[in-house]
Structure 1
Amino acid sequence: MAQQLADLPYAHLLQPHAGPLRRDARYDTAHFEGVAYEGVEAGGATFMECAFTGVSLTEARLRKARFNEVWVDACRWVATDLAETEWQDATVQAGLLAGISAYGSQLRRLTIRQCKLEAVNLRSAVLRDVVFEDCQLRDVDFGGAKLTDVSFPGSSLEEVRFGGATLKKVDLRGATRLGLPDGHEGLRGAVISSLQLLELAPQFAQALGVQVKDA
């Protein structure tokens, strides 16, 4: 897996992109570097073998955009509409995703590394072969989502919701914190450690309506 831009198999093909983002446009081997987009409308755009480095997106609208084999590094995406987007064979690292609407999205073979995710809506999304590595997830909603082969090594989960989600081979053992306020029934199909089980036991008991008393 690529650790830096130069490691990408298409790095030598990248060309600097100048100009705005446009709706339904197609971008191939484009390098978006150090630019700030605010309030842009680029719904339905396709990004193929592209790189984003140091890019700021604020209140942007990219609904139903496609990101195939993209590299997103040190970017700040805030209050942006990424609903129903498609991500495949992509890496997002060392960035901030805050106030993001990504419900109904399709995420396949995606690595999110050393990122902060805050107030991210992934309801009804489909995640397959996704890794959240060394990330901080706060107020992230997986409600009604389908997660398959998803893991969270080194990541902290706080106020993360799985209510109504469908999990298959979801590995939570590597998470450094599991802060789940509700939706514990949505963890069916996940793997947790014995220590995590002990930490979650009071919440499981409450969700089941079980009273725990020693006397």
Structure 2
Amino acid sequence: MAKPRPTGTQPPVLGLTEPGNLVDVDATGLRPSDEREGERYSDADLSDYDLSGVSFIQCAFDAVTLTSTRLRGARFVDSQLTASFAPTLSAGRTTWRDTLVQSPRWGSAELFDADLNAVHIRGGKIDYLNLRSSRLTNVLIEDTQLGELDLGGIRGDRVAIRNCRIGTLDLTGARSVNVDIRGSEFSTINGLEGLRGVTVDDYQLSLLAPVLAAYVGLVVE
């Protein structure tokens, strides 16, 4: 007998574990395209470092400064970043898997064309999170203050944005399945067509009603 198909919005599936048995390492030795595993970097200032193509596997970053650090094409796997700081974060085309980002303090975070799978962003403040054209699978963003969240052109499945305060939410061209924004606040939303496949709550729907009516050309008298 065939199993019944699940109904309703499917939540992210996360099985994150904290990296253990780590070796404390001096981050000054990091170079582009390095492959690093089982290391901890604490209170390191990596401003202006070129770490393009670096792979971090089962690594932990504690209170690390990433101002203008070039991380294009870098990989974070089974890792954890806690209280990282970056007025500008250059991380386009990065890969993030089974990774926790805890309490980030990021200004402009450029994560366009990235691949996020089983990623949890929790707490903190990000002025501009650019995930444009990224693939998001099993991603949870919660309790985070976001000045602007750019999800334009994403392909999202099992994505939840919970209890977040968002200034501008951009969904232009987004393709979504099981994307849930219930419980979050937003002031402005762009790209109404990208709401297809997104789950909202009753209160959010009431706020969206006027712009949705205008979008489809309804006349309300």
- TM superposition score normalised by structure 2: 0.88
1:147 and 1:117 map into 2 onto residues whose CA distance is 20
Higher relative contact order (CA 8 A, sep 6+): 2
- Could you say which residue in structure 1 is the equivalent of 2:193? 185
2:43 and 2:177 map into 1 onto residues whose CA distance is 38
1:129-148 matched pairs, under 5 angstroms: 129-148=138-157
Deviation at 1:211, TM superposition (A): 3.3
Deviation at 1:36, TM superposition (A): 1.1
- Could you say which residue in structure 2 is the equivalent of 1:90? 99
Deviation at 1:206, TM superposition (A): 2.4
Q: Which amino acid aligns with 1:208?
A: V
Quote the RMSD (CA, aligned, Å).
1.7
Unmatched 5+ residue regions in structure 1? none
Unmatched 5+ residue regions in structure 2? 1-13
Q: Which amino acid aligns with 1:211?
A: V
SS in 1 for 2:193: helix
1:209 and 1:21 map into 2 onto residues whose CA distance is 56
User: For the Cα contact (< 8 Å) 1:137–1:160, is it kept in 2?
Assistant: no
SS in 1 for 2:208: helix
1:178 and 1:203 map into 2 onto residues whose CA distance is 13
Q: Which amino acid aligns with 1:115?
A: G
User: For the Cα contact (< 8 Å) 1:89–1:109, is it kept in 2?
Assistant: yes
% of aligned pairs identical? 29
User: For the Cα contact (< 8 Å) 2:15–2:98, is it kept in 1?
Assistant: no
Q: Which amino acid aligns with 1:185?
A: E
SS in 1 for 2:194: helix
Q: Which amino acid aligns with 1:179?
A: S
1:76 and 1:96 map into 2 onto residues whose CA distance is 5
- Could you say which residue in structure 2 is the equivalent of 1:173? 182
Cα deviation digits, residues 138-192 of structure 1 (max 9, x gap): 21211101111111121112211011001100111121x1333321110100111
- Could you say which residue in structure 2 is the equivalent of 1:196? 204
Whether 1:125 and 2:128 are equivalent positions in the alignment is: no
Q: Which moved more, 1:204-213 or 1:88-97?
A: 204-213
Q: Give the one of 114, 132, 136 matched to 1:105.
A: 114
2:175 and 2:86 map into 1 onto residues whose CA distance is 27
1:1-215 matched pairs, under 5 angstroms: 8=18, 10-11=19-20, 13-18=21-26, 19-175=28-184, 177-213=185-221
1:70 and 1:44 map into 2 onto residues whose CA distance is 16
1:163 and 1:115 map into 2 onto residues whose CA distance is 25
Segments ≥4 residues shifted beyond 3 Å: none
2:81 and 2:15 map into 1 onto residues whose CA distance is 12
2:159 and 2:189 map into 1 onto residues whose CA distance is 20
